[in-house]
Each structure stands twice: as C-alpha cells, then as structure tokens.
Amino acid sequence: MPLEQAIQHVAFRPYIPTSQVLAFAVLPPLGGSDVDAHRGLGVEYLAGQDPMLLSEWPQQQFAIAFGRGRLALEPCTLEHYSAQGVAWTTRHRVVLTLQPDGNVPVSAVDREAGRLLRAGGCR
C-alpha cells in the first residue's frame, strides 16, 4: 500500500526509516476499538541487506509492558520483547517494534534499532 494511502488510516505522525522501503501496511490496534485513532503502521524495509519490519502504534491509555518485568517502557529505551524483536516508545506516546523479516542476526536488529533511535525514531 502506498504511504499516502496508509497514513490516511492512522492518527499519528509515523517515523519512516531513511532506508529502502519495500511496503507499508495499516496494522490493527494494540487494544481498543478498530478505528483510525488506534491503528498502527507497518513498514517493511531494507537495512543494508537485512530485511526488517518496523511497526508503530499510538500508545492509548494503557501501559505497554515488554521485557524484564517492567511495568512500562521508558521513552527512548530499547527493550527486547522476544529473542529477535526490540521495542521502544517515544516521548509522544508512540510504541515501536522492530523485528527481522527473515534470517537476520540479532546483532543486526539491535544495531538497526540503535540507528533508528539516533536518526529520529524517538521523537
């Protein structure tokens, strides 16, 4: 789906990686009713040669908990939510997850997540 079409179905300003984007998708909400205000955006892209999936959602009125028993993610702090997936929140209450789209080393996912944060993925 083209970005122009996808962003008509989300109510936040998504972060778009500067890497080669392959596809966009509107994602179902993390919770609540299935309305534009709760929907997310998925971005399939290449980080160098590594295919990645970046997912973003508005953080509604509930706590997002990933990782080591934390009650909620601290803004701009990376946390593994699975063996290969990384999550973080922004200061503007957007939840992001990054995971490989295929056989990608965990170190490459971690490196890419750090690059996204430094490049504006935590605004």
Q: Give pLDDT tens digits for 48-78.
A: 999 999 999 998 776 666 656 554 567 899 9
Q: Give pLDDT tens digits for 29-41.
A: 988 889 999 999 9
Q: Is residue 123 part of a domain?
A: no
> Rounded to 5 degrees, what angle do the CA atoms 84, 89, 91 make?
155
Which structural domain range is residue 11 located in? Answer: 3-118
Q: Strand, coil or helix: what is 97?
A: strand
CA distance 53 to 101: 6
Q: Give pLDDT tens digits for 90-117.
A: 988 899 999 999 999 999 999 999 999 9
Q: Is residue 8 part of a domain?
A: yes
| pLDDT mean across residues, the chain | 90
Q: Is residue 24 part of a domain?
A: yes
CATH code of residue 55 = 3.30.200
97 forms beta bridges with 55, 87
Decide if pLDDT at 44 tops 90. Answer: yes
Number of domains in the chain: 1
Quote the pTM value: 0.91
Q: Is residue 28 part of a domain?
A: yes
